[in-house]
Chains A and B, each alone.
Chain A
Amino acid sequence: MESGKLPKKNLLSMQIDLSKFTPASDEDKQQVDIMRESTTFFRDGMRKLFKNPLAVASLAALLLIIIAIFVAPLVCPYGYDDMIEVNGVRDRTAKNLPPMTYSENEKAFIAEGGKVFPHFFGTDQLCRDYFIRVVYATRVSLAVGLFASIIVLIIGLTYGAISGYFGGKVDLIMMRIVDIIYSLPDMLMIILLAVVLDPILGSALSGTVLASLGTNMISIFVVFGLLYWVSEARLVRGQILSIKENDYIMAAKAMGAKSGRIIKRHVLPNCMSVIFISIALQIPAAIFTESFLSFVGLGVQAPMPSLGSLANAAREGLQSYPYKLVFPSLVICFIVLSFNLLGDGLRDAFDPKLRR
């Protein structure tokens, strides 16, 4: 073999035979196009969630309820604590009306050509429109659920993040405290604290803005802040333990970032999706608890209604006015069912173990 016979090629020269190439057709171009945008864990989960009809329906139902409780007081001319008035005069005949009926005075007023806004859910024993009371009760119950969940989120997130990030002895001690709080029977402790906080807070708060909320409402929040954060803290800690092993955390540390910055910038944003799901599941639990406390007589104070206290008040005269029980009960069940279905949908969409 003589190498000299072949023409010497410069390895770096562009000796390309152009006849071997053709311009790309449209079909070829299409193949290089990005078919699907790169997706994050959160976006992928959301896409799956919106394919689940039950979850979408419950989300829509919840939105509908939220819109209703904001719009209804604007449309409906009655107040939640005001006696019904006909032509500017208090109507004492409008007591315990069945749904969609009018009182004697109202009938007379209508006969004269006046217009009366219908009582969709009837009225209660103090001549108050029951529909608007249920609307306000729903507001209260949802607000309690939401705020309680936010309190739980803030405390649980901070505690779990510190415990999980620092690890070692700090983690050990912090988690023992969580273990002990976790093993306390929560409902009993809530009842106990609600009983105790009522007289203590009552004198401390009188005259401040918080007094208008009612001591029981505040004690519900205090109780949630003291007891319910532990499962959230455990969840966050578990997430952080797995996230902090990632290389980007090491890179941030190597560049000299402080712990607080690493937790805020790198760790927490990555466990947000799991935390969102736990919040969706926390809200119905809080609504359950609030309605339970109101039913036992430790919830929000009269005249402010809550769904639990309305159901409790309906027990008197249950046989004669069953609708007073039915409406608030239906709303509680509907809200909790929607949140539960939404929570199930979120779990199915985000839990990698269930993905097939």
Chain B
Amino acid sequence: MWKYVVKRIALAIVTIFIIITITFFAMNAIPGGPFQKEKSPLPAVQAVLEERFNLDKPLIVQFGLYLRNMFRGDFGISLKTGREISAIIGESFAISAKIGAAAIITALLPGLIFGSAAALMRNKWPDRLIIFSSTVFVSVPSFVLATILLLVFSLKLGWVPVWSIKNPSYILPIVALALYPMSYITRLTKSSMLDVLNQDYIRTARSKGVAERWVIFKHALRNALLPVITYLGPMAAYILTGSLVVETVFTIGGLGTKFVSGITNRDYPMIMATTIFLAVLMVIMTLLSDLVYKLVDPKIKFE
């Protein structure tokens, strides 16, 4: 068990290091620096600027400095706004994290309930309805869903106000983010529940007279949850990347919007910092879901 944990954490650290390396060197491969020679007034000013931002040093030294500053929480400044990137990430991620966490819960609970319901009522109409709608929702890209929700509920019907800082309404972005993972979890839960219900221990439990609801909650659902746990990592990744478009559509000032506007403005330090931040977050989420899976899976406990 511990060997696995150490190995897994080591892989995560290697991955994070590789991500930072790729991001740094890829960004530096783009021709042209932030202080272009044609635009700079004097060679002396250019030299001072380059020294100030360590651009005169070899690339590998710059990389070392970037790493060191990053561990101190300093990602440099945004080329567009001139503000500290760490401050921008800090305030915008607070909004994104709120939406993301709500979306995870919104995806997880209904997904589990619908999936179990579909498995227990196999081949009856609730099962067909649930599976049909989840198949349809899995095929709708998040930006399409977000734009259509905005169009119908905010602009046409006027039920939900358009998002603003003073009057934030999170319901539509949460739904837009959660619907795809919810449908996926529904399908996942159904198939794993069907798998579990055919196992011998379920028959044993039933034959010794355990009440049906205890069979389902204590024996079936607990085991059917295992594949869903492995999906938590990919789901976090989906919600984080999905937030890029969903936040842009609803014009929410979260990290996703900042990332997309960074891309549009070619604000390279901003893109670099946000990529690293989001990637590290995803790697950590995947690591956690893998570890939790190993922790709760009874089959490997005694190995």
A interface with B by C-beta (< 8 Å): 179-180, 183-185, 187-189, 191-193, 195-196, 199-200, 203, 284, 288, 291-292, 295-298, 308, 311-312, 314-315, 318-319, 322, 325-326, 329, 332-333, 336-337, 340-341, 344
A-B contact pairs, 14 of them (CB 8 A): A185-B241, A185-B282, A188-B241, A189-B19, A191-B263, A192-B271, A195-B271, A292-B141, A297-B264, A298-B263, A308-B143, A319-B155, A329-B148, A337-B139
- CB pair A311–B144 under 8 Å, yes or no, is yes
The smallest beta-carbon distance between B217 and chain A, in angstroms, is: 27
- Take A192-B23, A296-B260, A318-B150 as given contacts and tell me if A187 and B241 are in contact as well, using a CB distance cutoff of 8 Å: yes
- Check A184–B147 contact: CB distance below 8 A: no
B112-144 toward A: CB 8 Å interface, digit per residue (1/0)?
000000000000000000000001101111011
In the assembled complex, the Cα of A308 lies from the Cα of B147 at a distance in Å of 12
Taken together as a complex, chains A and B put the C-alpha atoms of A305 and B129 apart, in Å, by 35
Identify A188's interface contact among B27, B30, B279, CB under 8 A: B279
Inter-chain CA distance A179–B15, complex, in Å, is 10
User: Nearest residue in A to B23 (C-beta to C-beta)?
Assistant: A192
Cross-chain contact B30 with A199 (CB below 8 angstroms): yes
A8 CB, min distance to chain B CBs, angstroms: 65
Sort A-B residue pairs by CB-CB distance and give the 3 closest, nearest first. Answer: A337-B139, A187-B241, A336-B139
Q: Closest A-chain residue to B150, C-beta based?
A: A318
Contact call B275/A183, Cβ cutoff below 8 A: no
Interface of A (DSSP majority class): helix
A291, A295, A312, A322 interface centre (most CB from chain B within 10 Å): A295
Is B41's CB within 8 Å of the partner chain A? no
Residues on A with beta carbons closer than 8 Å to the beta carbon of B241: 185, 187-188, 292
> A184-B15, A325-B147 are known contacts. Are A192 and B141 too (CB-CB below 8 A)?
no
Q: Which of B26, B138, B151 is in CB contact (< 8 Å) with A325? A: B151
Measured CB to CB, the nearest residue on chain B to A354 is B191
- Residues on A with C-beta less than 8 A from B18 are 180, 184
Specify the chain A residue showing the minimal Cβ separation from B28.
A196
- Give a binary string over B224-240; 1 marks a CB under 8 Å from any A CB, 0 the rest: 00000000000001000
Residues of A within 8 A of B32 (CB): 199
How far, in whole Å, are A302 and B14 apart by their CA atoms in the complex?
39
Establish whether residues B30 and A184, one from each chain, have CB atoms under 8 Å apart when the complex forms.
no
Given the interface contacts A292-B143, A333-B140, does A180 sit within 8 Å of B135 by beta carbon? no
Partner of B31, one of A195, A200, A322, A332: A200
B135 touches A311 (CB 8 A): no
Which residues in B have their C-beta under 8 angstroms from that of A292? 141, 143, 241, 245
The residues in B between 251 and 303 inclusive whose CB is less than 8 angstroms from any CB of A are 260, 263-264, 266, 271, 275, 278-279, 282-283, 286
In angstroms, Cα B260 to Cα A337, docked, is 27
CB distance from A109 to the nearest CB of B (A): 34
Does chain A have a CB within 8 A of B29?
A: yes
Cβ contact of A185, chosen from B135, B151, B248, B278, cutoff 8 A: B278
Instruction: Chain B residues near A284: list those with CB within 8 A.
Output: 139
Q: Evaluate contact between A332 and B141: CB separation under 8 angstroms.
A: yes
Contacts of A329 in B (CB 8 A): 144, 147-148
- In contact, A183 and B148 (Cβ under 8 angstroms): no
Indicate the member of B147, B237, B249, B283 with the most A CB atoms within 10 Å.
Answer: B147
B11 at the interface (CB under 8 A from A): yes
Q: Is B70 an interface residue (CB 8 A)?
A: no
| Cβ–Cβ < 8 Å partners of B275 in chain A | 188, 191-192
Question: Which residue, B15, B22, B144, B237, has most C-beta atoms of chain A within 10 A?
Answer: B144
Q: Given the interface contacts A292-B141, A332-B141, A336-B139, does A184 sit within 8 Å of B279 by beta carbon?
A: yes
Q: Is B244 an interface residue (CB 8 A)?
A: yes
> Nearest residue in A to B244 (C-beta to C-beta)?
A296
Structural contact, A296 and B148, CB atoms closer than 8 A: no
A contact residues around B279 at 8 Å (CB) = 184-185, 188-189
Q: How far is the CA of A326 from the CA of B145 in the complex (A)?
A: 11
Q: Are A337 and B143 in contact (CB under 8 A)?
A: no
Question: Which residues does chain A contribute within 8 Å of B26, judged by CB atoms?
Answer: 192-193, 196
Distance in Å: Cβ of B227 to nearest Cβ of chain A = 14
Beta-carbon nearest neighbor of A190 in chain B: B241
Instruction: Specify which chain B residues have a CB less than 8 angstroms from the CB of A295 in the assembled complex.
Output: 141, 143, 245
How far is B22's CA from A273's CA once the two chains are assembled, in angstroms? 36
Q: Are B282 and A188 in contact (CB under 8 A)?
A: yes
User: Contacts A183-B283, A196-B26 known; A188 to B278 CB distance under 8 Å?
Assistant: yes
Query: 20 more A-B contacts (CB under 8 A) besides A296-B248, A314-B147?
Result: A183-B11, A183-B12, A184-B15, A185-B19, A185-B241, A185-B279, A187-B241, A188-B282, A192-B271, A199-B30, A203-B31, A292-B245, A295-B141, A295-B245, A318-B150, A325-B147, A332-B144, A333-B141, A336-B139, A340-B138
Q: Is the CB of A322 within 8 A of B151?
A: yes
Q: Is the CB of B263 within 8 A of A311?
A: no
Q: Are B139 and A180 in contact (CB-based, < 8 A)? A: no
Chain B nearest CB: distance from A260 CB in Å?
A: 32
Do the beta carbons of B263 and A296 come within 8 Å of each other?
yes
Residues on A with C-beta less than 8 A from B263 are: 191, 195, 296-298
- A187 near B22: Cβ-Cβ < 8 Å: no
CB of B136 within 8 A of CB of A337, answer yes
- Say yes or no: A200 contacts B237, CB within 8 Å: no
Closest Cβ of chain A: how far from B179's Cβ, in Å?
A: 13
Q: Which residues in A have their C-beta under 8 angstroms from that of B11?
A: 179-180, 183
Chain B 20-41: CB-based contact to A (< 8 A → 1; otherwise 0):
0011001101111000000000
Q: How far is the CA of A315 from the CA of B282 in the complex (A)?
A: 29
Q: Cβ of A199: which chain B residues have Cβ within 8 Å of it?
A: 30-32
Smallest CB–CB gap between A53 and chain B, Å?
13
CB closest residue in chain A, given B286: A183
